[in-house]
Amino acid sequence: MGWLDHWRQNSEVSQPDLLTGEITPVPSKDGRYTGVTANKRLKDELKARGAEKQTYREVNTIVTQGMLGCSPRELDEATGYDSDRSKLPADAQEALTVGDIAARRRIEDNDAQGPSQLKQSASEGISEVRGLFSWNRKGKGR
């Protein structure tokens, strides 16, 4: 069971609310480090390590698939988030933020360079943290 199934079964936010943007983004406790910050740091790290134009899109797909169990396209079709993560429910935002951080940390730890190593390292980072979220745990609907 991926995040979309989890969300559909447990959502307090209805589909029409998501499509009209009537949800509250996850607030930052201290106003300094947010999901946007985590995603920007991942993008900057990819760029500094030789990512090609397509590499960021591929790493974003790795993060989304690994953390939410669906592609960015499937996520957009189901929620209408239109690549604006702040429009997603809080638990999805949280999972993507954790995924961005884990991918970046593994890229740094591996000293990954170039598209292939960057994607491999991002995937390793996601594998380490995906089980933090109930919809990714074995035995929880899987």
pLDDT for position 140: 54
10 Å CB burial of residue 8 (0-12, 13-18, 19+) is: exposed
What angle, rounded to 10 degrees, do the helices at 35-48 and 90-110 form?
A: 30
Domains of the chain: which residue ranges? 33-136
Number of other residues whose CB lies within 10 A of the CB of residue 92: 26
Dist. CA 59–CA 61, nearest whole Å: 5
The mean pLDDT of 118-130, rounded to a whole number, is 97
Give Cα separations from 93 to 99, 103, 110 (angstroms): 10, 15, 26
Residues in the chain: 142
Dist. CA 142–CA 133, nearest whole Å: 13
CB 67 within 8 A of CB 136: yes
Tokens 């593994």 label which residue? Answer: 106
pLDDT for position 30: 57
Structure confidence at residue 5 as a pLDDT band (50, 70, 90): confident
| Complete DSSP assignment for 34-63 | -HHHHHHHHHHHHHHTT--HHHHHHHHHHH
Please say if the pLDDT value at position 127 is more than 50.
yes
Instruction: Give the pLDDT confidence of 59-110 residue by residue, as tens digits.
Output: 999 999 999 999 999 999 998 888 888 889 999 999 999 999 999 999 999 9
Dist. CA 97–CA 110, nearest whole Å: 20
